[in-house]
């Protein structure tokens, strides 16, 4: 509603930043209000090309649009020493294990269910794999039941919400970051994948689902692997490819960390915002 009132302040230039969900699941009056107000903005910045497509699909056409991907905080997320990582893994009882990690609300959109459904095939070939889920455990009971039905309950661990310090430790202690988010029937989708960048800053490659803003957080086969949404078989294949090829996993992880440090930190993103907004102010003067 605040955005809808902005057009009445006609002498005040204003910019919309579009993340994704707020444009992807709107209907009726809410969609009309959002479209009408966004079309009155002086400029619009989208956090991904996928989000930009959703904004345009809603009927937002008038303001000039730029895409600036989100970043991550390299002061909070960074690679620890091998000794520190080994100690964390020992304390968490995963020595000799291959650890998958997903970070985010344990929910239908984040797609932890897809990884669970992939686990039987993964464990058949690599029984030393375990799966950590960090985040608000909204769907914990249903996923625990699914894990029991699949026979993988001993290989999954719900870590619930954690501090940023603990999260940095988890990123470092895992072997591979996995996020198989999906678009829901109500239009809700992943606008981008900040957690993917956080993991990369900690030296981890990622397996992520395509057809969303999440896919733009990696370069396929360079900093991670893309898999199709709602596809446990493809997810299992991608995970096993990296479990069975440590050299490739190391290469992707190294390239992910280098890319994140050089272009995906909030400092780098802020520079892009500053350039766009400075040019915008120059044009409005």
Q: Where are the domains of the chain?
A: 2-71+265-284, 82-262
- Are both 2-71+265-284 and 82-262 of the same fold? yes
State the burial class of residue 134 (Cβ atoms within 10 Å of its Cβ: 0-12, 13-18, 19+): buried
Task: List the one residue out of 237, 101, 279, 110 whose CA is nearest residue 174.
Answer: 101
Core vs surface per residue 223-242: b (16+ CB within 10 A) or e: bbbbbebbbbebbbbbbbeb
Return the CATH architecture of domain 82-262.
3-Layer(aba) Sandwich (3.40)
Q: pLDDT tens for residues 178-188?
A: 999 998 887 78
Task: List the one residue out of 125, 98, 101 whose CA is nearest residue 112.
Answer: 101
Res 36: pLDDT:
87
CATH T-level fold of 2-71+265-284 = Rossmann fold (3.40.50)
Res 71: pLDDT:
97
Res 10: pLDDT:
56
pTM score, whole prediction: 0.93
Res 1: pLDDT:
40
Instruction: Count CB-CB contacts under 10 A for residue 249.
Output: 18
State the burial class of residue 172 (Cβ atoms within 10 Å of its Cβ: 0-12, 13-18, 19+): buried
CB of 216 within 8 A of CB of 192?
Answer: yes
66 bridge partner residues: 45
Residues of the chain with pLDDT under 70: 1-11, 24-26, 285
CB of 256 within 8 A of CB of 239?
Answer: no
Res 221: pLDDT:
97
Q: pLDDT tens for residues 80-120?
A: 999 999 999 999 999 999 999 999 999 999 999 999 999 99
For the chain, what's the residue count?
285
């Amino acid at each position: 509603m605040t955005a809808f009132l902005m057009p009445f302040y006609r002498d005040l230039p204003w910019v919309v930043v579009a993340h994704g969900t707020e444009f992807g699941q709107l209907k009726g009056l809410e969609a009309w209000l959002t479209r009408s107000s966004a079309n009155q903005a002086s400029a619009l910045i989208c956090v991904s090309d996928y989000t930009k497509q959703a904004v345009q699909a809603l009927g937002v056409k008038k303001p000039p649009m730029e895409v600036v991907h989100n970043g991550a905080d390299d002061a909070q997320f960074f690679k620890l020493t091998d000794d520190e990582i080994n100690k964390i893994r020992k304390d968490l009882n995963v020595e000799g294990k291959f650890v998958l990690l997903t970070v985010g609300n344990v929910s239908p959109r984040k797609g932890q269910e897809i990884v669970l459904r992939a686990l039987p095939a993964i464990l058949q070939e690599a029984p030393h794999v375990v799966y950590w889920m960090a985040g608000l455990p909204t769907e914990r009971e249903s996923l625990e039941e699914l894990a029991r039905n699949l026979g993988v309950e001993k290989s999954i661990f719900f870590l619930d919400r954690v501090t940023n310090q603990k999260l940095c430790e988890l990123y470092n202690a895992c072997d591979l970051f996995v996020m198989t988010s999906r678009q829901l029937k109500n239009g809700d989708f992943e606008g981008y994948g900040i957690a993917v960048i956080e993991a990369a800053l900690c030296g981890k490659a990622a397996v992520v689902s395509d057809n969303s803003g999440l896919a733009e957080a990696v370069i396929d086969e360079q900093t991670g692997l893309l898999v199709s949404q709602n596809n446990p078989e493809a997810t299992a294949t991608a995970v096993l490819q990296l479990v069975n090829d440590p050299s490739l996993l190391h290469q992707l992880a190294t390239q992910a960390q280098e890319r994140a440090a050089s272009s995906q930190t909030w400092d780098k993103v802020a520079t892009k915002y500053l350039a766009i907004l400075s040019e915008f102010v120059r044009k409005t003067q």
